[in-house]
């Protein structure tokens, strides 16, 4: 009887291991339509960068995160525009968030004021991003490259809220991933000057501003030297993103697109990383 009981316990344990997702390293560029939402996971810790529009981000997170994990260690909003920030309001309602990182330059926007109010009501810690800041989450290191503290950067932000975007590089020992939000070529030029020592180089580039021709200049692309590019854009969107000019510029690279491929995942598989689309 005891042997049978032990065998049943072992079988139940094995079944539980199969049901419960195991810790892993991955980046998932979520298919949230015309917007951005990127989930980084290192081990059991997650970072969510932007949340798209509406509540679709909750559906995508449920597909990527273990059902029992209701904590996101870091939420980062690149800039307070609806297609990046709105979904994060719903994330705050559905998950426990350890830290929020956001740009200070655009703090007067109505959407960001609503965001700050909700953060305050829930007692969530937050900090304003500054170039040079670093965060460590699991084995991943996040380095903030923008907002820059310069008159030129302030002027760029004043001219267009897109240029307030946090630019962040996420690095594992064997993979680097550069995310630029909606930062345009004006900010890209400032980044080239501010970070001349190879800091912009990355294995994978999340293409700026959904593939708009206002971003991803030839000079910036040459500095990043990516091996692959990912575009987050909505199917048949009214902005014609990604723009053909940018697709032509990226033609030598493997290009993954959420409008065509669904959620794009980069997952560690042994000593390698594999890129796959959901569709």
Candidates 145, 102, 144, 100; CA nearest to 121 is 100
* Sheet order of strands, 45-49 included: 125-128, 96-102, 71-76, 45-49, 38-42, 26-29, 264-269, 272-277
* Domain boundaries, given as residue ranges, for the chain: 22-277
| 237-265 pLDDT tens trace | 999 999 999 999 999 999 999 999 999 99
Q: What is the pLDDT of residue 13?
A: 44
Residue 128, strand partner residues: 102
Question: In the chain, what is the straight-line distance between the N-terminal and C-terminal CA atoms, in Å?
Answer: 49
Q: What is the pLDDT of residue 158?
A: 64
CB atoms within 10 A of CB 240: 12
Residue 27, strand partner residues: 40, 266
SS (H, E, C) the chain: CHHHHHHHHHHHHHHHHHHCCCCCCEEEECCCCCCCCEEEEECCEEEEECCCCCCHHHHHHHHHCCCCCCEEEEEECCCCCHHHHHHHHHHHHHCEEEEEEECCCCCCCHHHHHHHHHHHHHCCEEEECCCCCEEEECCEEEEEEECCCCHHHHHHHHHCHHHHCCEEEEEECCEEEEECCCCCHHHHHHHHHHCCCCCCCCCEEECHHHHCCCCCCHHHHHHHCCCEEEECCCCCCCCCCCCHHHHHHCCCCCEEEHHHHCCEEEEEECCEEEEEECC
Residues of the chain with pLDDT under 70: 1-23, 105-109, 151, 154-156, 158-159
Q: What is the pLDDT of residue 24?
A: 85
Contact partners, residue 163, CB within 8 Å, separation at least 6: 153, 156, 157, 182, 183, 184, 186, 187
Tokens coding 169: 């590089």
CATH code, 22-277 = 3.60.15.10
Candidates 235, 236, 188; CA nearest to 209 is 188
């Amino acid at each position: 009887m005891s042997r049978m009981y032990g065998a049943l316990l072992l079988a139940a344990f094995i079944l539980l291991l199969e049901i419960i997702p195991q810790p892993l390293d991955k980046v998932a560029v979520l298919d949230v339509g015309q917007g951005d939402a990127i989930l980084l996971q290192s081990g059991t810790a997650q970072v969510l960068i932007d949340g798209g529009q509406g509540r679709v981000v909750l559906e995508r997170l449920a597909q990527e995160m273990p059902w029992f994990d209701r904590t996101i260690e870091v939420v980062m909003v690149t800039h307070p525009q609806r297609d990046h920030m709105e979904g994060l309001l719903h994330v705050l309602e559905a998950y426990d968030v350890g830290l929020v990182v956001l740009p200070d330059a655009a703090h007067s926007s109505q959407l960001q004021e609503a965001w700050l109010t909700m953060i305050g009501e829930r007692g969530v810690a937050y900090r304003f991003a500054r170039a040079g800041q670093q965060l460590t989450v699991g084995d991943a290191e996040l380095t903030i490259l923008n907002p820059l503290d310069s008159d030129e950067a302030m002027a760029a932000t004043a001219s267009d809220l897109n240029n307030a975007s946090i630019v962040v590089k996420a690095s594992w020992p064997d993979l680097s991933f550069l995310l630029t939000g909606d930062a345009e070529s004006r900010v890209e030029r400032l980044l080239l000057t501010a970070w001349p020592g190879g800091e912009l180089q990355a294995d994978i580039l999340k293409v700026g501003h959904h593939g708009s021709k206002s971003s991803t200049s030839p000079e910036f692309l040459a500095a990043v030297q990516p091996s692959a590019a990912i575009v987050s854009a909505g199917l048949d969107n009214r902005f014609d993103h990604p723009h053909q000019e940018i697709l032509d510029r990226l033609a030598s690279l493997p290009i993954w697109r959420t409008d065509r491929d669904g959620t794009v995942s980069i997952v560690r598989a042994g000593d390698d990383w594999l890129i796959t689309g959901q569709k």
